[in-house]
């Protein structure tokens, strides 16, 4: 009988707040706001994809709406076996409905803290700049993120259309975030090729890249990523038949599996792991390695990672019986709690 993938401890590292609403929640919030609910189907362009994301964000009108969505995101992560989840958000997402950008971040962090406590899942927030708003605003977001470093913000991201706004434009913003001790986790290798992935590493200082799959266009880059331990937060690609994850793992590249935008792609974290097993042919040992990478590459407290890694060994039968899921007691907003001591992308795996 196959091992239950819901019992495999894992972290969810590539997950966007505005793309993670439950479809039923979108419909309810939209009806309450008197606006049309977005109906995700497929995307012929990155602009169409972005428009759907914006429509989903517009359904969240109040702080209570946001707190509800965050609670559901963390609850869904827990159901998928996640003991840690990092939610990514552009601070301008709510167009001032929650106050200033700083007020917005505080509201989201408070919501994550409450959700983490309720569901016993550790959480952190990645503040992301949107390429389309330019380098100056990206630097502002990096400063804002730096101000919340150690207070629930666990990374600085870079989202949006990389084909129009390449990585080099945002080097200063990423340097500012790194100076504050924040990992830089940009999108790259999604709409542009291997050179964009290399620039994310060389110019932005990324040790983790969201997507990054087009690195396969340059075998020398693949070898370099493997040798240096750079992590790719892999999610959807245009076709399962073309999915590069098995080849990347075979080449020694460290990868995590993620749902990215569950609302838009009709998926979730557990489904993605199941697809990796059933359609990509990954073994349980490979899936366990992917889960280990997700935890080791995360901002989760050391104690949480160690407990989860032990449970992965138990899941594989390499140690004692599999106990209950481990998560930070009090669990939210990147804080371990006192007990722990410190593009156009149709759905496919």
Buried b (16+ CB within 10 A) or exposed e, 12-41: bbbbbbbbbbbeebbebbbeeeeeebbebe
Number of helices (H), then strands (E), in the chain:
13, 8
Residue 290 to residues 29, 85, 251: CA-CA distances in angstroms? 35, 15, 14
Q: Is 272 a known active-site residue?
A: no
Burial class (CB within 10 angstroms; exposed 0-12, middle 13-18, buried 19+) of 91: buried
Which of 86, 190, 217, 272 is labelled catalytic? 190
- Contact indicator for 281, 246 with CB cutoff of 8 Å: yes
Separation CA 241–CA 235 (nearest Å): 14
Active site residues: 190
């Amino acid at each position: 009988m196959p091992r239950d993938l819901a019992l495999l401890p894992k972290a969810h590292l590539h997950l966007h707040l505005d793309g993670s609403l439950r479809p039923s929640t979108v419909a309810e919030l939209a009806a309450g706001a008197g606006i049309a609910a977005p109906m995700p189907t497929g995307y012929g362009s990155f602009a169409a994809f972005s428009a759907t994301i914006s429509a989903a964000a517009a359904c969240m009108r109040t702080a209570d709406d946001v707190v509800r969505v965050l609670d559901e995101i963390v609850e869904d992560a827990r159901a998928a076996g996640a003991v840690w989840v990092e939610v990514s958000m552009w601070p301008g997402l709510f167009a001032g409905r929650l106050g200033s950008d700083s007020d917005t971040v505080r509201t989201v962090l408070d919501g994550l803290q409450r959700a983490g406590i309720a569901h016993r899942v550790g959480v952190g927030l990645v503040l992301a700049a949107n390429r389309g708003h330019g380098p100056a605003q990206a630097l502002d977001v990096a400063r804002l993120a730096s101000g919340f470093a150690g207070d629930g913000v666990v990374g600085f991201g870079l989202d949006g259309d990389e084909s129009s706004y390449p990585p080099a434009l945002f080097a200063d913003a990423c340097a500012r975030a790194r100076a504050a001790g924040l990992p830089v986790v940009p999108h790259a290798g999604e709409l542009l090729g291997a050179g964009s992935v290399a620039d994310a590493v060389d110019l932005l200082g990324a040790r983790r890249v969201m997507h990054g799959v087009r690195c396969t266009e340059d075998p020398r880059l693949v070898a370099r990523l493997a040798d240096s331990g750079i992590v790719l937060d892999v999610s959807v690609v245009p076709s399962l038949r073309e999915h590069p994850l098995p080849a990347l793992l075979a080449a020694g590249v460290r990868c995590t599996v993620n749902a990215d935008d569950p609302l838009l792609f009709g998926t979730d974290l557990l489904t993605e792991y199941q697809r990796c097993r059933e359609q990509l042919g990954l073994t349980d040992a490979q899936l366990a390695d992917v889960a280990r990478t997700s935890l080791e590459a995360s901002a989760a407290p050391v104690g949480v990672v160690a407990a989860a890694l032990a449970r992965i060994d138990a899941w594989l039968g390499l140690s004692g019986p599999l106990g209950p899921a481990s998560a930070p007691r009090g669990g939210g907003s990147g804080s371990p709690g006192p007990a722990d001591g410190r593009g156009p992308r149709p759905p496919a795996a």
